[in-house]
Chain A
């Protein structure tokens, strides 16, 4: 019985060579991607701290609790702020830098290498540098402000709940700008030089050339950058964790969904070590839904705009 089954399997594989090629990827992906994703949906319906036996089935209770929780809402709002602020920076500063880097110049290679550098820096290193730069004890930002006569602007930057999120966003922007600029740069290379030259000969101003010739060709780059940004802004964890920890210090002002989920699942260290794994999973499922909806909405809107521009 087992033998005939094995033989039948062998014959099937010979008839379908793709099975061999796909097998390792599909097995790993099923076991360590699909299963845990679906498993989270299922476990989110239970009351379970993560330790001991799984508790009672409580239906959608965890989801309702998350949606009504002010902590969850404020974390989601922080993600939204990150998305919006980085969106503004990306579509102005990064785009502008890409345009400047597109000009022929002997230093272009050097500029590019430097502007792209933050991408290869680990979020840990980045977060750490920012934390120390702004530290009231050993930082350099406050001494520099004093030195140039702007001493009144000195702050305990990361200790001030009104400023901490802005600091986190600046650090994220420092790092994210690298990727956005490079993608815009690649998009600019798709603009045929003849088109631009023709417009210039026709007497169009630089601004008009940019608006009517360059921008339409950049439409796909806009789509990619903004969809990637949505994924980045809502999934963000490492850098925020370094700067604010699992409690989103100070006073939850830097808590994002990533750190909120982690804190609920594995405890918040000395502050609160109680774990609520299934609740964290419900929050994760909600986060996944938000990412899916935002990414899909952006894709639909921007793809329609792409068609419109061409």
Chain B
């Protein structure tokens, strides 16, 4: 081996190392940019109001839970968090079940208009919520269920359908025909086939739909902002927004309530990071 080829290999290796160092450096800077606000939020949730002004950059004097306790009481968080849990779980269950049924028919049952129906559902992804919520407000007022959790659940369950259909139809279509045909020949009805054969195979995409819709519903405050005024039916984000309007200088309390709102999703995310990311890409790339 000649001396030149050895030195060129060496320079190649050092170039690769330099590239890898640069890449780590860039990624670390970006990660810091993502984490810094979160860190500031968490630290702020332990500080007293005077600490915000006197020592904005340093750690809190002590990590007591008094802000949290006070925010929990004054922000009526026990009420709003219960509302959020009720609304999120029931609308996610409802929406996912309905989307599964409809996607099964569109993907695997022969009837005219399946493609049209699929497109009609997908078009829902384009309609601006700001437009549609105005008319829904009128419908709910006419039905007499403004200011109820039920109205929120109905709206979220419906708005979750387009995404459910987007993710599930593609997946159901990919399941081999032979599997369900065998079951039908054995005398199982379509509902049995759907329940016993298709659904168990579709656990991953169903979890995707649950995660995507669940995160959106938990975080959303636009729909409750339009449909509710009674603080007893406010969801967690709306409750915080109202709290912020009233106690706009009690920074520590507001920080604490914001941390409480972010925590459940954050914990789920840390437990299932891979599922979240995989689900998200499946949801967006399948289209």
Contacts and interface: CB of A to CB of B under 8 A. Distances in A.
A117 B131 contact: no
A111 interface: yes
Given A120-B265, A129-B37, A238-B221, A288 B127 contact: yes
A221 B31 contact: no
A241 B108 CA distance: 43
Nearest to B51: A138
Main secondary structure of the interface of B (DSSP, over half): helix
Contact of A138 (B33, B41, B53, B165): B53
B31 A32 contact: no
Contacts of A221: 285
B98 A291 contact: no
A262 interface: yes
Contacts of B179: none
B127 A37 contact: yes
Contacts of B134: 36, 40, 261, 265, 277, 280-281, 284
A48 to B, nearest CB: 10
Interface stretch (A99-107, A191-199, A300-308): A99-107
Interface stretch (B69-77, B202-210, B254-262): B254-262
Contacts of B258: 124-125, 128-129
A112 B277 CA distance: 9
Given A124-B261, A138-B251, A118 B34 contact: yes
Interface stretch (A23-31, A58-66, A152-160, A161-169): A23-31
B40 A28 contact: no
A279 to B, nearest CB: 11
Interface in A273-299: 277, 280-281, 284-285, 287-288, 291-292, 295
Contacts of A228: 284
Interface stretch (A1-9, A179-187, A208-216): A179-187
B57 interface: yes
- Most A CB within 10 A of own CB, among B27, B33, B189: B27
Interface string B235-264: 001001100100000010011001001100
B155 interface: yes
B198 to A, nearest CB: 11
A258 B221 CA distance: 13
Contact of B154 (A22, A28, A107, A121): A28
Interface string A227-251: 0100100110110011000000000
B135 A43 contact: yes
Main secondary structure of the interface of A (DSSP, over half): helix
A112 B269 CA distance: 12
Given A132-B44, A133-B37, A237-B130, A183 B105 contact: no
Contacts of A24: 98, 101-102
A262 B225 CA distance: 10
B277 to A, nearest CB: 6
Interface in B15-72: 20, 23-24, 26-27, 30-31, 33-35, 37-38, 40-41, 44, 52-53, 56-57
Nearest to A119: B280
A120 B23 contact: no
A144 B37 CA distance: 13
Interface string A90-109: 00000011001101010101
B135 A36 contact: yes
A35 interface: yes
Contacts of A72: none
B287 interface: yes
Contacts of A107: 24, 27
Contacts of B266: 120
A238 B241 CA distance: 11
Contact of A120 (B57, B111, B269): B269
B37 A284 contact: no
Nearest to A230: B126
A40 B34 contact: no
Contacts of B125: 231
Contact of B101 (A22, A147, A237): A22
Given A37-B135, A183-B285, A235-B130, A124 B237 contact: yes
A288 B191 CA distance: 37
A17 to B, nearest CB: 5
A143 interface: yes
A158 to B, nearest CB: 14
B233 to A, nearest CB: 17
Nearest to A290: B128
A174 interface: yes
A116 B273 CA distance: 9
A33 interface: yes
A17 B137 CA distance: 34
Nearest to B43: A140
B230 interface: no
Nearest to B274: A109
Contacts of B104: 21
Given A182-B280, A288-B126, A18 B111 contact: yes
A140 to B, nearest CB: 5
A120 B130 CA distance: 22
Given A21-B190, A22-B101, A132-B251, A183 B281 contact: yes
13 contacts: A21-B102, A25-B102, A25-B161, A29-B124, A29-B161, A37-B131, A112-B273, A117-B269, A121-B262, A182-B280, A281-B131, A284-B128, A287-B128
Per CB-CB distance, the 4 closest pairs between chain A and chain B, nearest first, are: A284-B131, A122-B219, A36-B135, A25-B102
